[in-house]
Structures are given as structure tokens and as C-alpha cells.
């Protein structure tokens, strides 16, 4: 299973994103239950999130929609 984790696990309190991979806690916690398509879609968003780190992250951050049971 593909993962963006680089073993630098620290949540930035300002952005709510992991400083290593750019995911939120909810995205990290749900990673194993996401479909391959959901993981691919999220991984496509991460570079922009990491690039925007330290800038106005609210403009660059797209949170993965909550999964429906």
C-alpha cells in the first residue's frame, strides 16, 4: 500500500497538518480504510499543502471529505 509517510510525524498546531507528509490527523488515522482511489486523490493534494506550509495554508489546503459509512 502506498503511503506519503516519511517518518517525520509531528502535527503543526497552526495548520493541523503533519509536517512530514501534509496529512491531517483524520487522514492519517483513516489511511488504512481509504480506497486506493481515495489515497491517490489525497496524495495528489499533499505537495501543494507542503509547499504552502508557513504561508496562508487555508488557501492551499483541501481537506479530504469525510468518508461515509
**What are the structural domain ranges in the chain?**
11-53
pLDDT in tens, 20-67: 999 999 999 999 999 999 999 999 999 998 888 755 444 444 555 555
- Grid cell 495554508 is found at 57
The C-alpha cell at 32 is 488504512
On the question of pLDDT at 7 being above 70, the answer is yes
- What's residue 23's pLDDT? 95
Q: What is the pTM of this model?
A: 0.74
Amino acid at each position: 500500500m502506498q503511503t506519503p509517510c516519511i517518518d517525520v510525524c509531528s502535527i503543526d498546531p497552526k495548520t493541523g497538518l503533519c509536517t512530514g507528509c501534509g496529512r491531517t490527523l483524520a487522514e492519517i488515522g483513516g489511511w488504512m480504510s481509504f480506497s486506493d482511489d481515495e489515497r491517490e486523490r489525497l496524495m495528489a493534494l499533499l505537495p501543494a499543502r507542503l509547499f504552502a506550509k508557513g504561508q496562508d495554508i487555508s488557501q492551499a489546503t483541501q481537506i479530504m471529505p469525510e468518508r461515509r459509512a
